[in-house]
Structure formats: structure tokens, C-alpha cells
Amino acid sequence: MMESITSTLQLLTPKDVWNVFAHTITIGLIVGTVFFLDDYRIKIDRQNQLNDWIRRARQEKASKEHKVLDMALDDESKMELLTAKETREQILAKTLDPKQNVAFLAKRCRAYNQDRKYGVNAIAEELYDEAYETASSLDKNVTADTAPPLYGVPVSIKESNGVKGTFSTGGLACRLNKRQEEDSLPVELIRKAGAIPICTGNTIQLMMLAESTNRIWGRSRNPWDLSRTPGGSSGGDAALVAMGCVPLAIGSDIAGSIRIPACFSGIVGFKPTSTRLSGKGCMKPRKDDKAGSGIAIPATGGPMAKTVDDCFLVMKAMCTPDLWESDLNVPPVPFKEEIYLDQQSKLKIGYFTTDGWFEPCATSKRALKETLDALTKAGHECVEFEPPTDGWHNYGLLVGINSAEGNFKSFLEALEGEECINEYSTLIRASNIPDWLRWILVRVLDKRRAHLLGSTRNGGISVFELWKRTAELLSLRSAWSDAVREAGVDALVYPGFPIPAAPHGISGDLTAAVSYMFMPNLLLWPSGVVPVTTVRTDEQHYRMEDLPLNQRDKAAKITADRVMKNSEGMPLSVSVMTPAFEDEKCLRVMKEIERLVDFKAEPSAYKKYR
């Protein structure tokens, strides 16, 4: 056989060899081109399909009939913007008609959201007539003692949380192929508690940045300044609460997605203990709803409202036997109302002013100082707390676990043919840097970017490396638990988001600023934010000379040039955190800060164009 082949080869001239080579290359090019064109055709067909679905969803939203919007109110001039607690109390006292209240808020939602040029665009889908029908069917025979905690309260639901009859997309066009057939468990629970969903709130594609924009419903704006974002990923809902379109909203939080929008929008936001509530029935922004990192850092639902009392009502409504009987993975921990209502006992508060990774702006530092001064003046003991790990360690660990797969893989898979929005471009580029180039860049870039690049790998990390990072996460949790126990403090108070709401489109370049927000997610602890103050004229700066040497970099320059400039009047908050399953105490501390600081500022930018 070999002799035959050798003889044949000896008969070939150089020209014959060249012809064979040329024909092989030609055939290869043809086959490759065919496959390329076929893949390209499939890609274009998929994008066209997704665009058709987007057009259809928008048309359905635009053409949906809302009879309640044409309904005349008894005396609209006397209608008030009420908290959830006030709404419940007035309905029970027969001084507020729940149907009239729904109609009033529906008109307000439409007025401040619809306009394409000036509207805040916080709403994904409108449920006004459905809400009116629910309000009409409320049991009229209940009393203050027998009425459920959220009786008659209109609410906005983050669109990823799964409301029957709506799309639950997480900003992904591929999820427009069908509507929710049933309520998720969180929505089911608040309905049982008497709440009335009136709309769903907009979010960001893939739900992983501090903005709320996607190709389906567009970009949400901040009611304090329309050129800025209301945050994300629960940004639409936060804007609705800030404008008084709804008294209450239900969001979700995996790295600050409730608390960042609350900070940016000047409202209260609360993330419960990460395993205390259920996400059963809520979509996950990954292909086939499979998010592997969620086993280490789970998402949790939670409330956003104008007051801490309203967040308390949500926790009271959801922490019931209906919760843990419907989801056996949730520990049966009743809500201890008496701990929250104890407004007499004095507290020992630990505090820290910086995580060493992202220095808070001047307003954020003042907000923390004013809060601590108010707590001390009221008789509470405030002691400095030394965090057992700093932001450099914490941030590297979060990035290392969330990006363990490499190359933004599960995020891009979740798009199922849709293009990623521009806000993710920095993260995508960074995740695809070859490791040989990554090794060089880590040695020449500024320290923060180098640190993050060093926490990731092109192609992902090994199972052993992921195991080590998971072990580090467990060690971090033990260290913080021991430190808080040894300090003997009831809670920790520290900066909220360290800078005010950013202009649209730059969240991907400011992910470093999220470090204060995701710490409770790493620990699985409850945490909330309370608005304290607004940026003053002389605080619209972020001076390099005020920063540690290892923070004088691109992120700091963007903060100085784009975030702090013209930021006067934007709200800033403080954060509160307690150990796991001490949600009631966390809310108790938040309530005390709210009472003592008495933040009164309200957004007005959204009103200027009506």
C-alpha cells in the first residue's frame, strides 16, 4: 500500500502538486464561505425575529386599552400622594376610595412616563384596568385588626419578578416569546397581603449594571435629573416610587440592585437576608434560567418605598407560613414585629467611613457624619468598626466568582442572538483580553483596573481555582461574623453609594463604585439604605488630591468630570447592615435614622416639562 502511494507521488510534477494544493484551498474557502454565510443568515434571521418580537410587544403596549385613564375622579385636586401605610389606614377608615386611588395613580403613571422626549420611561407594562378591578373587589368587611398588611396598596413590580399576563424579560428580547402564565411566589404573596400591582418597572438588559435600559422598553430616566440614570437593575421601580406614581415597589437585589436605585432616587430600599425570601417563579437573566453563581451569591427580592414603615409592611406580609410552605428551601423564620417596633432601647452602632477601594465623595462623607451625630445626640452609642477585609479583597472576590466562567459567557448566551447594549462594552472587552496580554496590562495599568483584570481569566478558571475562591468567600463570612460579634454592635452604618447618580451610559466604566453595595450580598446579610441629604453647590467635585494614591485613576477622573459636575441637589444615602436573619433590627436602625435625619427633599425635574 505504501509503495503504491510512493509511486503515485513520484509521478506528480510540481505543477500537479500546486494544482492539488490550490484546489484544496479553493474547496476549503468555498466550504468555509458557505458555513460563514449560513451562520450569518441564521444570525440575521434571529435578529429579525427578535426585532419583530420587540415591535409586537411595543405595539401591544401602545394599543392596550386603559378605561381607567378616561375616568373622571370625584375631586382630583384633593387627592394626596400617600405612603403604603397611609393608604391602608385611610382605606380602612373609609376616607379613601381604593378605586379612586388606583385611577389617580394610573393617571399619574401615564403623565410622567409616556412622553418619549421628556417622560421618565420607568414602566415596562401598564396594568391599570386590572388594578382597578382588583380594587373594586376588595373585601369591604375587614377591620384594622383583620385587614392584611398591604390592604389596597398599589405597587409596582420589577418586570423580572413575574406578574401573570405580562412579559418577564430581564431586558432580554428573547423572553418576549411568551407571557407569564402564573404569578411568581413573591407576587402571589403580596397579592394575598392585599397589594394591587398597577404596573411593572423597567430594568437593564441582563440585570447586571447600575442603569435601567434595554432594547425593548428603552431607557429609564432619573426624576431628580433626566440626564442621569435612576440606577439598576430595579431602576424603573425606584423612579416610580420617587415620583409618587406608586407608594411601594418590589425589586430584586444580587449586588445592590434594590439599594443602588434607592440611593440614586432618594428613597428607602431594603435587601433582606439573602435566604429569607423566595425567588420562586422569578426569571433569571441566563439561558434556561440557570445562574450557577447564584448558589454562592443569591439574588433576593425586597421593597423600595418612601418610608421604612412601608418596607416593614412588606416583610411582615411576606414572612408568613405561605412563604415557607410554598418554597421548602426557605427557612421558616417568622417576622418578629416587636423588634422593629421597639423604639425605646438604645443601640450600639458600629461605623466605618471607607472600604479603602472607592473613596466616598464629600457629600457622602457628610451624610455619614450627620447621621452618626444625630444617632449619638439621641443617646445611641456609635463606635468605629474596623472591617476585617477591605474593598480590594471584597471586590476581587466578587469579580472572581461571578466571572469564573470567563469571557462573559453565560451573559452572552442569555442574549440568544440579541446584541449586547453598549453599556456592557467595557466589561466584554476586559473579559476577552488574552491571558498573555492580561499579564502585561496588570503590570502597566492603574492599580484598580489591574486588580480586576488579575481576578479574571480568558476562557475561565479551573474548578480548583473556583473552589479556592469559594473557600475565600466562606472565610470572609466567618471573619465579618466574628468581627461584629467581638465588637458587640447591633448594626453597622457606612456610606451608601459613594457618589450620586451617574449620567446615562457610563455605568460600565464605574463598576468599582458598587463596592459598598455588594458587601451584604457576599455576606448574605440584610441591608438597607436611607436618604440623608443632597449635594451642595460647594460639593460638586471629586478632587484627585483628596484621594489615596491607589485611587487616582480613570474611574476617579470619570467621577470628577462626569458624575460630580452639575450634581447639585442629587440625593445621597447611608447604608445599614446587620447579621443574617436580623432583618427586623436592620429595619429598626433604618427607622431611627429616618426619624432623626428627617430627609424632606423631593425630585422635581420630571415635573418641569408638563
Check residue 30 and report its DSSP letter: H
Question: Distance between CA 595 and CA 268 in Å, rounded?
Answer: 13
Out of 160, 212, 234, 257, which one is annotated catalytic?
A: 257
Q: How far apart are the first and last CA of the chain?
A: 89
What DSSP assignment string belongs to 163-219?
-TTS---TT-GGGGGS--SS--HHHHHHHHTT-EEEEEE---GGG-SSS-EETTTEE
Q: Do 605 and 226 touch, CB atoms closer than 8 A?
A: yes
**Residue that has been written with the C-alpha cell 469559594 in this structure:** 470
Secondary-structure breakdown of the chain: helix, strand, coil percentages, each rounded to the nearest 5: 50, 10, 40
In DSSP terms, which residues pair with 3 in a beta bridge? none
Q: 103 burial class (0-12, 13-18, 19+ CB within 10 angstroms)? A: buried
Q: 368 burial class (0-12, 13-18, 19+ CB within 10 angstroms)? A: buried
Judged by DSSP in three states, 417 sits in coil
SS3 per-residue string spanning 360-400: CCHHHHHHHHHHHHHHHHCCCEEEECCCCCCHHHHHHHHHH
Out of 156, 184, 220, 233, which one is annotated catalytic?
A: 233
From residue 568, alpha-carbon distances to 248, 369, 533 in Å are: 27, 19, 11
Binding residues: 207, 233, 254-257
Binding residues for substrate: 207, 233, 254-257
The contacts of residue 243 (CB under 8 Å, 6+ apart) are 108, 112, 120, 122, 223, 603, 606
In single-letter form, the type of residue at position 28 comes to G
Give CA 421 to chain center in angstroms: 17
Q: Is 567 a catalytic residue?
A: no
The contacts of residue 346 (CB under 8 Å, 6+ apart) are 379, 380, 381
Q: Is 507 a catalytic residue?
A: no
In DSSP terms, which residues pair with 252 in a beta bridge? 301
Question: Distance between CA 599 and CA 162 in Å, rounded?
Answer: 33
Question: Distance between CA 245 and CA 108 in Å, rounded?
Answer: 6
**Residue that has been written with the C-alpha cell 373585601 in this structure:** 139
Question: Distance between CA 130 and CA 66 in Å, rounded?
Answer: 9
User: In terms of Cα–Cα distance, which of 422, 502, 63 is closest to 213?
Assistant: 422
Question: Distance between CA 13 and CA 565 in Å, rounded?
Answer: 75
In single-letter form, the type of residue at position 223 comes to P
Judged by DSSP in three states, 154 sits in strand
Out of 99, 107, 158, 271, which one is annotated catalytic?
A: 158
CA atoms within 13 A of residue 191's CA, in its CB half-sphere: 17
In DSSP terms, which residues pair with 270 in a beta bridge? 528
Question: Distance between CA 91 and CA 138 in Å, rounded?
Answer: 10
Active centre residues (catalytic)? 158, 233, 257
